A and B are shown apart, each in its own frame.
Chain A
């Protein structure tokens, strides 16, 4: 069975600090996708990034960066110079293929609180 672990339940930082959200996954698939979603207080899950299992290049998008390491089954997310608007729950997810379609297995999420 697939599993996603986000060990950090809640993180509090002060604005402008850098913060890293950890994600560890388990899967027997050789082809899979990893995702990060953001869930602000309004409740909608906002897609942030997708990474397939064959692409271990790190990615940077503005203040966001992602570090994918297959050797440690980790897909960590770093926010540089955090802002109050970054406050949300962040979910890491793993796609599970089932005969031609995929469902997502989510971690329990990490609540990030950025204070001014």
Chain B
């Protein structure tokens, strides 16, 4: 069983450019999460999908950020007009649909490291 995958692993962009990241969750995991991690900090929740529905967005997710999960499988996170403060690691996680502990345990991908110059 393959784990969560993310693409690209690294992205360097200039301020003002748009970037898009992709996350492929563990197959059959219907729950998908995006987190952001800045240097020296723990990951912070950005948004959550159950199947294709985006059910929660953090206040950290400004209007320049948009996430989609069109067919309930992979997800994309787009940042428009990037700013230097967007430089961070963007982590994706997924969890299973089974009630109880299965739903609670999130498995993370390797992350996408974004540097905005």
Q: Which residues of A contact B (CB under 8 A)?
A: 4, 33, 35, 37, 42-47, 50, 52, 91, 93, 95, 98, 101-109
Neighbour of A104 across the interface among B106, B110, B113, CB < 8 A: B106
Answer whether A43 and B89 are a contact pair too, CB < 8 Å, given A102-B104, A104-B106.
yes
Size range of the chain B interface in the assembly:
20 to 34
Q: How far is the CA of A43 from the CA of B44 in the complex (A)?
A: 15
How many A-B residue pairs have C-beta atoms within 8 angstroms? Tell me: 62
**B28 within 8 Å of A (CB atoms):** no
Q: A47-B108, A52-B101 are in contact. List 10 more A-B contacts (CB 8 A).
A: A4-B42, A33-B104, A45-B43, A101-B31, A101-B48, A103-B48, A103-B56, A104-B45, A106-B43, A108-B41
Determine if B107 is an interface residue (Cβ-Cβ < 8 Å): yes
User: Nearest chain-B residue to A107 (Cβ)?
Assistant: B42
**Given A103-B56, A106-B44: A45 and B108 within 8 A (CB)?**
yes
In the complex, the answer to whether B104 meets A50 with C-beta atoms within 8 Å is: yes
The chain A residue with its CB closest to the CB of B112 is A43
Pairs A-B, 4 closest by C-beta atoms: A106-B42, A45-B108, A44-B110, A103-B45
Say whether A101 contacts B110, CB under 8 Å.
no
Chain B residues with Cβ under 8 A from A4's Cβ?
42
- A45-B43, A101-B56, A109-B42 known; A33 vs B101 contact (CB < 8 Å): yes
Q: Are B42 and A93 neighbours in the complex by a CB distance under 8 Å?
A: yes
Chain A residues closer than 8 Å to B44, beta-carbon distance: 106
Contact B42 A43 (CB under 8 A): no
Chain A CB within 8 A of B91 CB: yes
What are 5 inter-chain pairs, A to B, with CB distance below 8 A?
A: A35-B105, A44-B110, A47-B106, A52-B104, A102-B103
Docked complex Cα distance between A15 and B64 (Å): 46
Contacts of A109 in B (CB 8 A): 40-42
| Complex: chain B residue closest to A44, CB-CB | B110
Q: A95 to B35: give the CA distance in the assembly, Å.
A: 14
